[in-house]
Amino acid sequence: MSNEEAEPSDIDTCHVSVMPDEVVYWVANPEVAQTPPKVVIDGTYGGGGHSRLLLEAIEDADTRVIGLDRDPAVSARVESETHDPRLTVFLASYEQAAKALDQFDLTSADAMVLDLGLSSDQLADRNRGFSYTVDGPLDLRFDPENGVPASRWLAQHDEKQIADAIYQYGEERFSRRIARAIVAKQRERQPISTVNELVEICRRCVPRSRNHDIHPATRTFQALRIAVNDELGILERTLRDAPDWMSPGGRMVIISFHSLEDRIVKNAFRDDDRWEVLTKKPLRPTESEVAHNARSRSAKLRVARRR
């Protein structure tokens, strides 16, 4: 994720990868892996930054990097790019990594990287609704061709269900007040359909905090995005099955951006005997990285190795 402007290049993306040096270290550094990884899965390909850096760091011509992403916009961009021949990108969720391996008659990977944050490209797309600072349709889907947009999700759920989701996934204290206002609009036959309509409700329902400079819509948008995309369910299922995809010594490198994700990763690594935890505490971005990429400030990186 990044808030930097895109530099001129042949890649139409403004995405800047988070904690790139740390990812390369845990995947490709000889101190961690005695031999260069032969198969690496980049489960959240996005702008492709992590994959490119890993391919640069791994000189072995036989190494294969498999990229996965749910966003059709990523696939469309990838098809127009020229890539290292060792890279293949699929339109799929990272929980489908085993199917991607099957495409190459492979049964396991030596490393898997997940960057669970939104990319700057997604935030910049006004038709997706990810940014509450730009008006547009309230969609919030990673894959606009599947599932239901957030506007329809709100219309399909009652006040309690909406409030519970906003509280559980967004940890928003004023979730019931927000849900009540959303349902009131629906009863007035003015259902929420745009970013600005939901932002205005959040502004009215969430008092501005004196101690935290956080937009009143932040937690609600996070919660709806998680609900619409089943983000936590996919992460939990992936962590349950991933040891079956990893070769002995294979590293799982995960960058999360909020406490719900980080807690799931921490508990999965700790409670599954197939993992050896390599980062007792989550690694954080350097001060220099945060200064150059403000959206990295909440990142936490955890690593486990397949026993």
Task: Give the residue numbers of the binding site for S-adenosyl-L-methionine.
Answer: 48-50, 69, 94, 115, 122
71 Cβ contact partners less than 8 Å away, ≥ 6 residues apart: 46, 122, 142, 143
User: Phi/psi of residue 89, each to 5°?
Assistant: -120, 135
User: Phi/psi of residue 256, each to 5°?
Assistant: -115, 165
Give the separation between CA 114 and CA 41, rounded to whole angstroms: 9
Give the separation between CA 249 and CA 38, rounded to whole angstroms: 12
Is the distance from CB of 65 to CB of 55 less than 8 angstroms? yes
Determine which helix (DSSP H) or strand (DSSP E) holds 50, and give its type and residue range: helix 49-57
- Which pair of structure tokens corresponds to residue 307? 């026993």
DSSP state of 113: E
Give the separation between CA 4 and CA 194, rounded to whole angstroms: 26
- Classify residue 290 by burial, with Cβ atoms within 10 Å: 0-12, 13-18, 19+: middle
CA 45 from chain centre, in angstroms, equals 10
Which residues are annotated binding-site positions?
A: 48-50, 69, 94, 115, 122
Give the separation between CA 137 and CA 126, rounded to whole angstroms: 8
Please tell me whether residue 69 adopts helix, strand or coil conformation: strand
Residue type, 221: F
Is the distance from CB of 264 to CB of 284 less than 8 angstroms? no
